[in-house]
Structure 1
Amino acid sequence: MAFPTTPLPLFVGLAVGADPVNPAGWEFADISNDVRARAGVSIQVGRQDESDLVDATKVGVTLDNRAGRYSRVNPISDLYGLLDKGTPIQVRVTRIVDTFTRSFSNGLGTEPNSGFTWTHVNPTCWNATGSAATCTLAAAADTATALVADAAGHDVEVLSTVSVPAVMTGASWVHATVVRRVDGSNQYRLYCEFTTAGTVAVKIAKVSGGVNTDLTGVISTGVTYSAGTRIRVRARAIGATLQIRCWLESGPEPTGWHAQVDDDDVVGTLTGLFSWRVTGNTNAGSLTATIDDFRMDVIRATTPVPEWPVRWDQSGKNVVAPVVGAGILRRLGQGQPALRSPIFRQLSAQPVCGYWPLEDGSDSTRASSAVVGGVVASGAEVTFGNDDRPPGAASAAVLTTGGGTSYVTGTVKRWTQPQTGYAVMCYFRLPTLPVSGAPLVVNGNRLMRISAVGTVVRWVIYATSGGFYIEGYANDGSLTVNTGSFSYVINPLKWTALQLEAEETGGTVNWRLLWYQVGATDGITFLASGSYSGTADRVTAASLLAPVDSTGVSHLWAGHHTLAFLDVPFMRIAAGYAGETAGARLARLHTENGIPFALIGSESTTSTMGAQPVGTFIDLVRDCEQADQGVLYERGAGLGYLPRRSRYNQNPAMVLDFAAGHVSSPPEPTDDDQRLRNRITVSRPGGSEVIAEVLASIARSGVYADEVEINVETDAQLDDHATWRLHLGTIDELRWPRITLDLARNPGLIAAWCKVRVGSRITIANPPSAVAGQDLDLIVEGWTENLSIYSWDVELSCSPARPWDVAVYDDPGSRRDSTSSTLAASVNSTATSLSITTPNLVEAWTTKASAYPLDLNVGGERITVTSAMSAPSGTGPYTQTAPVTRSVNGIVKSQAAGTKVSLWKPLPRAL
């Protein structure tokens, strides 16, 4: 028997002693027996009513602490020294445990306790023997799949035991755990591979769009096998992270994972098994693998625990620890430092020996060194903290006086790179072009001076009225390098990247002066070059000077000549990643900060962003969320993102019915102005603004204004963003902040519920007609679920889904609406023909038969036009006759002349 006839198989685990920022190492010890049954477990996910942003997930559990086990400071606790602020807690529900104690042929049948039935690809390969399952593959390259549709979920853990009848010859046998399956062309497979060497290996692979891709290589587990050796397999998919490990059933389970990879391309929920007799296998005859002890858990929440309170009653005997875990958004929102600028993060990771970012505050009198133990840069007539900067920098410095008076000089304390060449780079911007003149005469044109060890001991780079000029002096003062002027080609009045590079090869030094316009991300660079006999060992100092008053300078760097100055990614960094999509920026930021991340959909379809601002990690990812209008939420130990495009036209993840008793208590819909916004002003940092408004809504309700700054790439994007936000703000539908489900009363809903995530779509049929008048179509914004031994209650917070239904090009269901159509004459409740009029001929309804049937909204009544309307008659207004069916949505009434006629489900153009 299954829940609720038997207790809910609830698992609560603690990853004691775990590193809270390294989820790969989290091993959860079972503490379920210490959970106070009456209190159970509560989980709060997503955004609750009236919240604009997703909140940190909360996991509430009351632990029996009479033995002092969960008191962090109790030295006699077995967990003493292992509990800390940030110790992770996880809640799972076991959906199926199958030991195959039944006889069934051509398939695995139904597991009797859960009532779940297996489905198959190649069902004749599978059998249940009464003590185990078997999979028989007759020939090399044969495969077979077995799935449990009801044991599904986004985040799951699956265990199984497998053995093979012989050591493989020619090629391997694969026993794979299937997770996140959508269909045969889209799934992940986590391989336990029986190799021809008599060893067990693992591999993680995916099938996406029918294309097979190995996400890891074949990795040895160190486990050996022979005929009949039982191997235990644990596979986990949580957030973007996929993990697998294998061990001898007769031995201890390892604490680490043999294979792990992050990948978020496939977003299904089906779970099961896949067997493969690999091409090239030469074992004689049919091979039969034996599979047993299949278990699948759906992971409901994984969060750190930020505090460990202890409470007791008046007697002092009833001691509990009311623990509240809080998801990663809590930590990210508290006390996190601002991330350094993109240029800083890039240059500090290069082969650097001296680096002065020139991002110091406005009150600074010197430039800090970014090299640990380095020397601060000296300077004169220089100001810091200027907002006029390269897009990838946090700020810049200004050399106030030209002619050689202003300078910043950095001394390289220790050269840590091979002495086979060097590079010095910076960013600069001239407010005006220097006066004409030969640089040897007009020393005020100097832009950069470099002191070095080698044949050339001093380099001087000049910025003249028309281009660069470079000189290299030997130790005796003679000119080793003396060039003519190199045309700028770019505009030095805008931020420019400049690098001098010297590389020594076999007694010859090849030097190059390289430059490009900051913001040019297409790889176009410019070059002056030459060579001389000798050496190029290292740099001892580098100075930036001012050819003219108020020269802007930023990021002075010295290091090895292998600096990736010319790489397109480096150029994009200088531009602050302007033009990067929101999805790509989110993925990069998470990777840079070691936070697991999963994106549903495609990075390429998200909004293109402006330059990355300076801010905390959470500020920067919220910046992407705001610009793209997706949903950032918690997923496993990290974050997930549902892009705007993935919110369009979703299929329901859960289908409910009021009449079937799926909703456990009367909902409390709200008809208010919380989301009403009929005047929208959208701007972008440093750019223009756009105002969009709906005059009819303003006339009815007054002005509900919203001003938002979004960090998109160009001003041209603002018009569409304003229009789309106005569309979202003027959809006139009920909000549903409280819809409750009793899963103990409706256990058949659990499988669907485990597929719901923040942003999923659900429908509810047969609401009271006096309340809604039509089936509910909703987006799940968040929920609270309470789980205990014999109950599993869910309270959903939902918003209307209709705003996210959009037109699809060349799709018959995407029709253009008429905004001016009305009834030409009144009709009673039984009329089967309507006379419809419009003053605008271009908004008359189509007469093409293929466009019908068509559903119209007439005064809130859903009316189906069964066949083509007549051609428009008259010279204005224009009238058409429509044959109709009434009471389509259970509402039928008399309609007055002049009643507005529109599409029942008009679809807007998507952003």
Structure 2
Amino acid sequence: MVVPDARVELEIGGVQVDVTDHVRHGTRITHTRGRRNRGGRAEAAEVALTLESPGGLYDNRNPRSPYYGQLGRNTPLRLSVESGVVALQVSGANTGARASTPDHASLDITGDLDVRLDATLDNWLIAGDNIDVSSVQLAGKGNIFTPDRSWLLITRHGRLQFEWSATGATTIETASTVPLPVPSDRRMAVRVTLDVNNGSSGNTVRFYTAPTMAGPWTQLGAPVVTPGTTSIFASTGPLRVGLGWTGLAFQGSSGSIHGFEMRSGINGTVVASPDFTAQTSGASSFTDPQGKLWSTTNGAEITSRRIRVRGEVPTWAPRWHLSGNNITAPITAAGIIRRLEAGREALQSTLRRRIPSEPSCVAYWPMEEGEDAVQAYSPFPRVPPLRTVGFDFGADNSLVGSDALPRLTGGAASSMDALVPPHPATGEWMVTYVYKIDAAPATATKILEFAVSGTVRRMIVTLEPGGLYARGYDADGDQILSVGGGTTPAFYATWNRLEVLARPGALPGQVTYHLGWIDVSGGGHANVQTITATAGIVTRIVTKWDASGDGQSIGHLGVFNSQNTLIYNGADDGFQGEDAADRIIRLTGEEAVPMSVGVGETTLMGPQRPGQLLALLEEAEDADGGRLYELSGRLALGYQPRVALYNREPVLTLDYGQLTQPFEPIEDDSVRNDITVSRQGGSSARVRLDDGPMSVREHPDGIGPYQEPVTLNLFHDGQPEAIAGWMVSHSAWDEYRWPRLRLLLHKYPQLVPQAVAVAEGDIIRIVNLPDHLPPGPLDLMVEGFSETFGEREWTIDFVCSPAGPWTVGVAEDPVLGRADTEGSELTVGVAAGDPSWAVSTTAGPRWIDSAAFAAMFPFSVTCGGEEVTVTAINGTGTTQTFVVTRSINGIVKAHPTGTRLRLTHPMRAAL
């Protein structure tokens, strides 16, 4: 393998054009991504290089260039390297990318089935409540648009799922009973078996995982048994890997697929087994051992190259010598964060963004105008402004899902009026808006009036001492409808939503009219009445208040030709209580920004206020404490929830001798041991580290107080204390910091396959540290990195932080499930090699004894920097005798009386 072997490609005219030969000799290609320092923000990935541009070849304005007019701003660029390992590369951003083989009689398995897939994916698991977002296709046979469905293997909501059809149309869905345990390096094999007749009048699906296709296979959860025997439809569709059924809204796999197997019968005859690792890099088709011809489609590649970054070139600035020769094009491609940072206006309120997304909305007036406005505009192009009188715009900003709304101050002159454009009649309609009325009126007060083209021509809603009523009048002005009833105290002095709607009745020729109100914070009331009528459509909003309407705040008036009463839900209170992952998914979905969010419980958030998209995403990141980053394989964002970073295994293990010097630690005071977390608009909590070398105590017992106030957008006042404690435990972690780790891959090419797999949040382990350093192994979390490619150079500088703070307790785990002592020390000093220690407990419960807790031995403790294995403890008092195996970490020394003992791996509570 040649190291380095960097390749630069520009997407020109929809084709990847290799421009590596024009990268200027003597210059370097630099690539940076992630966080530049501990605790910073993820910055846009960048690739900087200089292209030689003979004759102005890379000048977008040069009509002599074959690329004339095709090298505009944000031209896609791809940087890839040779990894030495062949795989099928697929991108979930392109839902058509896959490898497939045509239908064949041997693939039309109608009985027992055994399917296996070996892959390294960055989207094994995607969070989110929406199945279209959270589902990832792995493999399948059949088609979605015709009754030709056979089977489909996907992940959904963090679990492995298998679907099949006995008819080709309707499907049977089964999911693993436990989540899919994706390893830190993201490589794993998954397997599903379907027993169509389990002998007990049912069918059984079993799920399995393994490190690779070679096994060993471990059953994932319990078998899933469904009543009734079944079969699999013999689809005429192809067998696909990296995708299942074309036309599904679910994204395809993103990453590397190593191999696939399909068997007729459980552990039965192999009918297809493409081994992508055995193919020639660059091949577009091959035949597997069973004679099946496999081909790549829609951007899928069989390649040993790994994409380091996909970016966009925002700026082209041709350069040349005064002689007119030596023409170059220095360029810097950037990741998606650059676009999100540049020139994006603040997102509007959640209601303003949400309501127009409803297809049935035919007219809408947000009423979020400034204080000098005299009318309310509509974001819909054919909808005229809402003419208003007596509206004090911008007067009420108390609804968290909205910008400031108007308050009525015009007395008997207050009114609003607008035509609703013609629109299709659907047999149903809805008029709704949000309002706040401070108190019940003394007399009947009109609060809404609008015109309709149906049997009811005029609808008037009044608020009366006895309740809320909607009355309908026909073309002659006669009242033919009255629906309503009493209100409750929740109707007043809080934000509510008024709903008036018509829908088909139970019998032909009937219309059911609905009048309701919904408290933004929960609860509400509704009344209905059914009459013989036609619904028609809403044609005009025309409302005039009397003086008792003064003080009422209103906004977000919408007219719909359906009864979608849910469109305001969540948006009216700014999605309070939404967890951070769902907020990130919703926001990026609304803005069409590709996003991959890992599975894991995330922090509940407070209301979403207007703000710039990236700032809102970072607000969610801050609340949860996870990692926002850019994917390397596609132009997209990723988010790792905090819990997904717990207890990760190393992706890359390095010998100390493989590092480039200087590899130097820092022990400084960049810590915060006294943190106050405040909830936006709510309460605060302060946590201080009161004990230990990083505590607020003065030297020599601590380092003194280092304070920091933090404000987060949280859901309730019970959250700040736990979050403050977690922040203190991270910031005041007592360990060397190793800010930079440099690796020369041109010197150690055998490390390339593992090194190119390292991403932000991954762990690098360093072993065999020299004696002048604390004993290892040393685990570091990658925050970001920069790499340089030269003619004979490939250097990576990893930005690192201690991985220790991310090691948290696991119930019943023999290592991570053990609580530490509150305080213990040597009663009597011990010599080097002494296997018997007298230990006194100075605070809290004593240590366990081996007579009563034999199954909990051995375990590891550390004393004076020496790690020992405790094989037995004798005695049940506060002074006990430890039997130990010495020098587990290579430290050989004597320890004086009073030396403290602690568990080597104490259980730390997770947030």
Q: Do they fold alike, i.e. is TM over 0.5?
A: yes
Q: Secondary structure at the match of 1:827?
A: coil
Query: Cα offset for 1:615?
Result: 1.2
Partners of 2:142 and 2:362 lie apart in 1 by: 50
Distance 1:707 1:559, change over 3 A: same
Q: 1:832 to 1:274 in 2, by over 3 A?
A: same
Residue 810 of structure 1 and its aligned partner are, at CA, apart by: 2.0
* Counterparts of residues 455-854 of structure 1 (less than 5 Å): 455-465=455-465, 467-483=467-483, 485-488=485-488, 490-503=490-503, 507-520=509-522, 526-533=526-533, 536-543=536-543, 545=545, 547-560=548-561, 562-565=562-565, 567=566, 570-602=568-600, 605-635=601-631, 636-658=634-656, 661-674=657-670, 676-696=671-691, 697-699=695-697, 700-813=702-815, 814-845=817-848, 847=850, 848-854=853-859
Cα shift at 1:484: 6.2
Change (3 A) 1:483 1:46: closer
TM-score normalized with structure 2 length: 0.77
Q: Does 1:87 align with 2:96?
A: no
Which of 855, 858, 873 lines up with 2:860 in the alignment?
A: 855
Q: For the Cα contact (< 8 Å) 2:59–2:318, is it kept in 1?
A: yes
Are residues 381 and 591 of structure 1, via their aligned partners in 2, closer, same or farther at CA, if it must alter by over 3 Å? same
Q: Give the distance between the partners of 2:603 and 2:791, measured in 1 at CA.
A: 46
Could you tell me whether the CA contact under 8 Å between 2:137 and 2:250 is conserved in 1? no
- Compare 369-378 and 296-305 and name the one that shifted more: 369-378
1:680 maps to amino acid: I
C-alpha displacement at 1:378, in angstroms?
2.5
**Which amino acid counterpart does residue 395 of structure 1 have in structure 2?**
A
Once residues 282 and 665 of structure 1 are traced to their aligned partners in structure 2, the CA distance between those partners, rounded to angstroms, is: 51
1:871 aligns with 2:876: yes
Question: Structure 1 CA distance, aligned partners of 2:479 and 2:559?
Answer: 23
Contact 1:448 1:543 in 2 (8 A): yes
Structure 2 match to 1:880: 880
- Residues 230-269 of structure 1: matches in 2 within 5 Å? none
The separation in 1 between residues aligned to 2:419 and 2:60, in whole angstroms, is 48
Instruction: Indicate the percent of aligned positions where both proteins have the same amino acid.
Output: 28
Q: CA deviation at 1:905?
A: 2.1
Q: Determine helix, strand or coil for the equivalent of 2:43.
A: coil
Cα deviation, 1:136-168, whole Å, max 9, x if unaligned, reads xxxxxxxxxxxx69x99999999999989x975
Q: Which residue of 2 aligns with 1:433?
A: 440
**Contact 1:427–1:553 (CA under 8 A) maintained in structure 2:** yes
Question: Given that residues 761 and 782 in structure 2 are in contact (C-alpha distance below 8 angstroms), is that contact kept between their aligned partners in structure 1?
Answer: yes
Q: In the alignment, is the contact (CA less than 8 A) between 1:86 and 1:304 conserved in 2? A: yes
Q: Is the 8 A contact 2:873 2:881 kept in 1?
A: no
TM-score by length of 1: 0.77
Gap change, CA 1:788 and 1:163, over 3 Å in 2: farther
Q: Which residue is equivalent to 1:180?
A: 120
Q: Alpha-carbon deviation of 1:525?
A: 5.4
CA contact (8 A) 2:80 2:307 kept: yes
1:709–1:908 distance in 2 versus 1, CA, 3 Å: same
Question: 2:868·2:886 contact (CA, 8 Å) conserved in 1?
Answer: yes
**Which of 401, 419, 427 is matched with 1:392 structurally?**
401
Shift of 1:841: 4.7
Match of 1:171 among 104, 108, 111: 108
Following the alignment from structure 2 to structure 1, what is the Cα–Cα distance between the partners of residues 611 and 60?
35
* SS across alignment from 1:515: strand
Partners of 1:496 and 1:542 lie apart in 2 by: 21
Distance 1:741 1:288 in 2: 44
Aligned to 1:24: none
2:414 corresponds, among 387, 406, 424, to: 406
Deviation at 1:777, TM superposition (A): 0.7
- The CA distance in 2 between the partners of 1:804 and 1:413, in whole Å, is 57
Unaligned runs of 5+ residues in structure 2 are: 127-134, 169-185, 188-243, 272-288, 296-300
Cα separation, partners in 2 of 1:168 and 1:543, compared to 1, 3 Å: same
- Provide the rounded CA distance (Å) in 2 between the counterparts of 1:806 and 1:300: 31
5+ residue gaps in structure 1? Answer: 19-26, 97-115, 117-147, 219-236, 239-256, 436-441, 873-877
Give the distance between the partners of 1:185 and 1:528, measured in 2 at CA: 44
* Pairwise CA RMSD: 4.1
| Change beyond 3 A, Cα 1:859–1:548 | farther
Q: How many angstroms apart in 2 are the aligned matches of 1:591 and 1:865?
A: 53
Residue aligning to 1:415? 422
User: Which of 250, 271, 276 does residue 258 from structure 2 map onto?
Assistant: 271
Query: Is the 8 Å Cα contact of residues 264 and 598 (structure 1) preserved in structure 2?
Result: no
- Structure 1 distance, partners of 2:13, 2:253, is 32
Matched residue type, 1:842: P
What amino acid maps onto 2:741 in structure 1? I
Q: Assess, with a 3 A threshold, how the Cα gap between structure 1 residues 670 and 497 changes in structure 2: closer, same or farther.
A: same
CA distance in 1, matches of 2:247, 2:79: 21
Is the 8 Å Cα contact of residues 141 and 150 (structure 2) preserved in structure 1? yes
Q: Mark the CA change 1:614 to 1:834 in structure 2 (over 3 Å): closer, same or farther.
A: same
CA contact (8 A) 1:681 1:708 kept: yes
Q: Is the 8 A contact 1:869 1:882 kept in 2?
A: yes
Q: Kindly provide the CA deviation profile for residues 797-849 of structure 1, in whole angstroms up to 9, marking residues without a partner as x.
A: 10000000000112221211123222223333333232222333525455523
What amino acid is aligned across from residue 452 of structure 2 in structure 1?
Answer: A
In 2, distance between residues paired with 1:270 and 1:335?
38
Question: C-alpha deviations, 1:393-445, integer Å up to 9, x for none?
Answer: 2332222366x4434x131252223274432111111222323xxxxxx34x2
Q: Which residue matches 1:377?
A: 386
Between the two proteins, the alignment pairs up a number of residues equal to 782
- Alpha carbons of 1:424 and 1:587: their partners in 2 closer, same or farther (altered >3 Å)? same
Counterpart CA distance in 2 for 1:176 and 1:35 is: 42
**Equivalent position SS for 2:291:** strand
The alignment partner of 2:574 has SS state of coil
1:55, distance to aligned residue in structure 2 (A): 0.5
Q: Deviations over 1:314-366 (max 9, x none)?
A: 65432222211111101101111222222222321332333111111233333
Tell me the SS of whatever aligns to 1:312: coil
